[in-house]
Amino acid sequence: MRLYFVRHGETDWNKARRVQGHSDIPLNEYGKYLARETGKGLANVHFDLAYTSPLVRARETAELILEGRRVPVIVHEKIKELGFGEYEGICISGEHKAPETEEFNKFFTDTAHYVPAKGAESIEGLLGRTREFLEELYQNQDLGDKTILLSSHGAAMTGLLNNIKGKTEAADFWKQGVPPNCAVTIVEVEDKKPTIVAENVVYYKEPVRTWNVGE
């Protein structure tokens, strides 16, 4: 099994540094461009199927990467982004910076002490559901020889990859930073054992826009 994990393209909320989580924000034009460029970069990869988060920004990314191909796309709740509850929609940098920003930014800067807001998920919960998703893949004998695209989100993708790396402590969650929009990580699975063969590959020429807390 060969897995291609991709974070969705840019949205207007990404650009404005607003917290998205479960908020269903579509790609902006730049985000669509990134997805199409990623599709060009992966044009020679034969995908047997794709899994996507139910959120529109991830679905659009998968559809644009696979544009012109007949690849089944399966929506899966367990690779949905982390829910941030009452923090969703707040701006965490710039002139419109919300008063809750300092507490929320512990999610990035002091993850071990991050306290989810009302209605939010915990990091442990995200790690648990993404681990369950991976186990479902590994145990599915019909997928053993398949090449699969997985379109997800910054935190959800990090949860997936941390499970693969065996990093299951909240304090270690962001050791590799936030994946850039449309970054691709490739994982080989043999005898139910995953190995990362390439991480955070981008297929577009523009400088990678990263999420810098407090900028």
201-212 exposure pattern, b = at least 16 Cβ within 10 A, e = fewer: bbbbeeeeeebe
**153 among known catalytic residues:** no
* Catalytic residue selected from 81, 88, 121, 153: 81
From CA 151, how far away is CA 53, in angstroms rounded?
6
Count CB neighbours of 194 within 10 A: 19
Cβ pair 49, 148 in contact under 8 A: yes
**76 among known catalytic residues:** no
Cβ pair 182, 58 in contact under 8 A: no
Cross-strand partners of 149:
4, 50
* Catalytic residue selected from 8, 22, 60, 121: 8
Cβ pair 162, 127 in contact under 8 A: yes
> Which residue numbers are catalytic?
8, 81
